[in-house]
Amino acid sequence: MARLIKSYIATALFLLLLLSLWEVGVHLFHVPFYILPSPSRILLVFFTRLPLLFSHGAVTLLEVGLGMFLGVTGGITLALIIFYSPFLESVLYPFIITSQMIPVFAIAPLLVIWFGYGLWSKATVAALIVFFPIVVNTVDGLRSVNSETIDLLHSLKANERQIFWYVRLPASLPSIFSGLKLGVTLSVVGATIGEWIGARKGLGFLMIQSNAMLRIDLVFASILTLSLIGLLLFATVRIIELRLLQWRRPRRKPKTSGGNH
Amino acid sequence: MNNERTSSVTVLAATGITKSFASPDKTIPVLSKVSISIPRGDWVTIIGPSGGGKTTLVKILAGILIPDSGKIIIEAKGEDPRRVVAYMPQNDSLLPWRTSLGNAILASQIEGRSRKEGQSEARELFGRFGLAGFENLYPSELSGGMRQRLALIRTFLSHREVLLLDEPLGSLDPLTRTTMQEWLLLVWQELGKSILLVTHDVDEAIFLSDLIYLFSRRPAHVRRHFNIELPRPRARTAQSLMELKTKILDLIHTETLNG
């Protein structure tokens, strides 16, 4: 625990050092605020414009949330189909892989045309980005099950449904969570890109608008808000993960040898 | 402790079991007309070279694999053999995300019995198996010997008549292994099950068994069987056991030389 706090302190000090250099540099070289605002100015803007950032942030958060939901449910469903049907796997997997060769950002303008300027086009961009790591990780997880464990379940006359709930799902949860942690950060990027292309609200929209008006301090304040949203989402996933996967953190070191009774 | 042979009723038997596996370019015969039988309440052991098809036979008896030919005969005709046998795989196959207690009640859960019922039944065995107090630990928090005992609790709690134990002590260090053999013997005598043990340890086989089947190399068939009528507990160094050990080792040796 002491070591953990120590490492946090070190990180915080390093961050403080970087910010100080930035602050001093800006003042020393007289960099105008519409090129690079100082950290203190960004913080000031962040706090004075908090209501504005909050209302735009809420929109982005909603898009990310919806995108995550669509991407995760779609991804897990597809992973199950791929896992249980070798035929559909051979049909679908090449499509899923090649779909990743198309940059989602390149088709984002199309999505805005198809789904409009509102919530759905951004949620779709986020969903498309989240979906791939979820599919790949879930399939890997489902396949990670030891065949002897499945044999054991068969010898106990378990049916496929029981094998799924008792073995396959819990065994694949660790890799599903790896996919989720990757997906949750990417989905914030996805929603922001969606907003750059066409939106009436959201932090991406606010950035583009402020950029055009040379309010670079507000651009940075938006970036700060986006980072906070990303961190918040990541922390949420991590907390759920720790809750569900308690067994992966032994509370007690295994004894070296046993056998006496 | 009652150690008389209760009856000579055969609880589980396999006759003429043949099995081969297909690899891309050829078929590999693994079992060739294997016949064994397990008398009720007895301890039967299969020994033979590793990779020789012992595990395949056990998996056939456990209903996991289907033989190419041959029959599994159980006392209660028409019953699914899986209702008669409990299988303990070579590795302990404990579910790492379940606590010890959760692993122990797996069979009762699959049968749809209430969790409470399964748990109270399991708790009682935890005491008898020297695992009391470890109910809420995860398998990763247990030692090797404890994991094996937990896997045995799970096997016992499936309430089958015959326990198929595939090298249950194979992963343990020699000292733990010897202790576990003695302990296993006590538990077996107390619970009155029939056991089919797979091992390649001759000492283990002669110390524990009523009946030993010696398997040949692949494709496996039964080369010889030995009835051991010595009372238990047996002295590991008893004259007659040593003679039997020499005999079995000689047989294994001649096969290796003639191969």
Q: CA-CA distance, B258 to B255, in Å (whole number)?
A: 5
Whether B8 and chain A come into contact, CB under 8 Å, resolves to no
Query: What's the confidence (pLDDT) of residue B180?
Result: 86
Domain membership of residue A18 (yes or no) is: no
Query: What's the confidence (pLDDT) of residue B259?
Result: 54
User: What DSSP string runs through B3-69?
Assistant: -S-----EEEEEEEEEEEEE-SS-EEEEEEEEEEEEETT-EEEEE--TTSSHHHHHHHHTTSS--SE
Domain membership of residue A177 (yes or no) is: yes
Query: What's the confidence (pLDDT) of residue A257?
Result: 45
Domain membership of residue A255 (yes or no) is: no
Interface mutation vs chain A, best among B97, B106, B131, B184, most A CBs within 10 Å: B97
A residues 133..162 contacting B (CB < 8 A): 146, 148-149, 151-158, 162
Query: What residues in A contact B146, CB-CB < 8 Å?
Result: 255, 258
Q: CA-CA distance, B28 to A103, in Å (whole number)?
A: 49
Q: Do A157 and B80 touch (CB under 8 A)?
A: yes
What CATH number did the domain enclosing A162 receive? Answer: 1.10.3720.10
- For residue A157, give the chain B residue with the closest CA: B82
CA dist A72 → A64, A103, A128, A137, A187 (Å): 12, 19, 10, 11, 11
Whether B64 and chain A come into contact, CB under 8 Å, resolves to yes
Query: What's the confidence (pLDDT) of residue A261?
Result: 42
Contacts of B3 (CB under 8 A, 6+ apart): B189, B231, B232
- For residue B147, give the chain A residue with the closest CA: A258
CA dist B162 → B19, B75, B131 (Å): 22, 11, 23
Q: Which two tokens stand for residue B47?
A: 């020994």
Whether B48 and chain A come into contact, CB under 8 Å, resolves to no
Contacts of A149 (CB under 8 A, 6+ apart): A167, B89, B93, B95
Query: What's the confidence (pLDDT) of residue A197?
Result: 86
**What pairing do the DSSP bridges indicate for beta strands B69-74 and B10-22?**
antiparallel
Counting the structural domains of chain A, the total is 1
Could you say which DSSP state residue A201 is in?
S
Of A202, A184, A223, nearest to A54 by C-alpha is: A202
Query: What residues in B contact A153, CB-CB < 8 Å?
Result: 110
Cβ–Cβ pairs < 8 A, chains A and B: 100
Of A45, A16, A15, A40, nearest to A222 by C-alpha is: A45
Of A175, A166, A171, A190, nearest to A71 by C-alpha is: A190
Whether A174 and chain B come into contact, CB under 8 Å, resolves to no
Q: Do B64 and A154 touch (CB under 8 A)?
A: yes
Rg (CA), chain A: 23
Q: Which two tokens stand for residue B143?
A: 């030692």
* Domain B10-84+161-258 bears CATH identifier 3.40.50.300: yes
Domain membership of residue A159 (yes or no) is: yes
Query: What's the confidence (pLDDT) of residue A252?
Result: 56
ipTM, 2 dp: 0.83
| Nearest-neighbour CA in chain B from A8: distance (Å) | 29
Q: Do B146 and A251 touch (CB under 8 A)?
A: no
Write down the residue that tokens 């990310």 correspond to.
Answer: A64
Q: CA-CA distance, B103 to A140, in Å (whole number)?
A: 24
Paired with B237 in beta bridges are: none
Query: What residues in A contact B129, CB-CB < 8 Å?
Result: 261
- For residue B127, give the chain A residue with the closest CA: A261
Q: Which two tokens stand for residue B78?
A: 């028409």
Q: Do B96 and A258 touch (CB under 8 A)?
A: no
Asked whether A63 and A52 are in contact (CB, 8 A), the reply is: no
Query: Where are the strands (E) in B113-193, listed by range?
Result: 162-166
Residues of chain A with pLDDT under 50: 254-261
**What pairing do the DSSP bridges indicate for beta strands B194-199 and B162-166?**
parallel
Whether B93 and chain A come into contact, CB under 8 Å, resolves to yes
Q: State which amino acid sits at residue A181.
A: K
- For residue A147, give the chain B residue with the closest CA: B93
Query: What's the confidence (pLDDT) of residue B100?
Result: 94
Domain membership of residue A224 (yes or no) is: yes
Query: What residues in A contact B125, CB-CB < 8 Å?
Result: none
Domain of residue A160, residue span: 56-245
Q: Do B87 and A151 touch (CB under 8 A)?
A: yes
Domain membership of residue A43 (yes or no) is: no
Q: Do B137 and A146 touch (CB under 8 A)?
A: no
Residues of chain B with pLDDT under 70: 1-7, 257-259
Query: What residues in B contact A149, CB-CB < 8 Å?
Result: 89, 93, 95
The domain ranges of chain B are: 10-84+161-258, 94-159
- For residue A158, give the chain B residue with the closest CA: B110
Domain membership of residue A65 (yes or no) is: yes
Query: What residues in A contact B158, CB-CB < 8 Å?
Result: 156
Query: What's the confidence (pLDDT) of residue A253?
Result: 52
pTM for this structure?
0.81
| Residue A112: burial class (beta carbons within 10 Å; 0-12, 13-18, 19+) | buried
Q: Which two tokens stand for residue A106?
A: 């390149």
- For residue B93, give the chain A residue with the closest CA: A149
Alpha helices in chain A (DSSP H): 2-28, 39-48, 50-84, 86-99, 104-115, 119-143, 147-155, 160-163, 169-197, 203-212, 216-244
Domain membership of residue A134 (yes or no) is: yes
Of A95, A191, A194, nearest to A135 by C-alpha is: A95
Query: What's the confidence (pLDDT) of residue A251?
Result: 65
| Nearest-neighbour CA in chain B from A155: distance (Å) | 6
